[in-house]
Amino acid sequence: MTTTDRRIPVGVLGPTGYTGLELLEILARHPGMRTAYLASARTPAPRIDAEFPRLLNRLGPGVSAECGPIDHDAIAAVCRLVFLCLPHEAAMEHTPALLARGVKVVDLSAAYRLRDPAVYERAYGHHHTDVANLERAVYGLTELAREQVRGATLVANPGCYPTAAALALVPLVKAGLIRPDSIIVNANSGVSGAGRAPKPNLHFPEANENFSTYNIGVHRHQPEIAQSLGRWGGAGAAGMTREPLFVPHLLPVERGILETIYAEPARTGLESAAVQACLREAYAGEPFVVVRDEAPTLRDVQRTNAVHLCAKVAHGRVVVVAAEDNLVKGASGQAVQNANLMLGLEETAGLR
């Protein structure tokens, strides 16, 4: 805006979905970034405050509500970093061009999350069209990949469910406290996780006062969770002869994820205190991970970038309860957390 505005200019591609809206609300309060370009694939490009009237007069100083086209040169001319809130295929299409123009990318789609393109193709049902950048991409589960994120030009922002699951499980697997082949992630998400497009099962009179499972054991986030356990679980992940079983459920709430995770202890006599101590040690000093004595609720984390964890041993099983906001730590908040690191800003900037 003015010559004294030292905030770093960033862009948002695909701002008309829920992750886009959440990102714009975070950026409006961010002391170190400003939204310099909004790009939409729609024709005509919408005003974002017509799309989301709650943004009227609230985009922050000097930020225009007008969306422009997805024009790589125009974007590169004004942005040092862009957030991609696009479909997977579009993300693979635009990322190479943006990187080539020196623009850093935080991709909120799944395009660069799974290291193995064959696994990607099985999970997402289409070919990976930018395998070249898969190796370059840093999987941005910030607490576990902080240093790589700092140096990254392309960050694959983790999926919502896998963020909570990996943060809950990696320390326990790595410490050898649980049997990796016994893991069941019983997950529950608010409806915003399913996106903004109306669908019969998300019609208010259907989803309201309702609750259901979906994609039992075949959800695309299952291999992503397995990948994180393999990558960060150390020797403890060696026995993962079966992938964790991932069973998502749809909650009649706008937002939030709560996962109740079950596993067999790797040794007899394991007690709650030891499991909690393992988590506390793993996340000591972390600004956004809170290990608590009581199981968290959705409300404790909604509209925050926090993940709350609580583990117990009950009737011989380890039970971990993990809660996060699917649109914040599970998407746009973690994206900003990653962008902060990529741009040399304070990691927590704009996220408190």
The least CB distance from residue 21 to a copy of itself, in Å, is 10
Do 162 and 190 contact (CB within 8 A), yes or no?
no
Using the structure block, give the residue that is written with the tokens 């030292």. Answer: 6
DSSP state of 256: -
Tell which residue, 206, 207, 203, 205, has the closest CA to residue 190. Answer: 207
Contacts of 250 (CB under 8 A, 6+ apart): 188, 189, 191, 194, 201, 207, 210, 211, 212, 213, 214
Cis amide linkage into residue 44, ω under 30° from 0: yes
* Sign of the four-CA dihedral 138, 331, 260, 309: positive
| Of 126 and 204, CB closest to a copy of itself | 204
| Of 254 and 347, CB closest to a copy of itself | 254
Q: Which positions are catalytic?
A: 160
The least CB distance from residue 154 to a copy of itself, in Å, is 29
The least CB distance from residue 141 to a copy of itself, in Å, is 19
| Of 18 and 232, CB closest to a copy of itself | 18
DSSP state of 216: T
The least CB distance from residue 100 to a copy of itself, in Å, is 35
| Of 69 and 230, CB closest to a copy of itself | 230
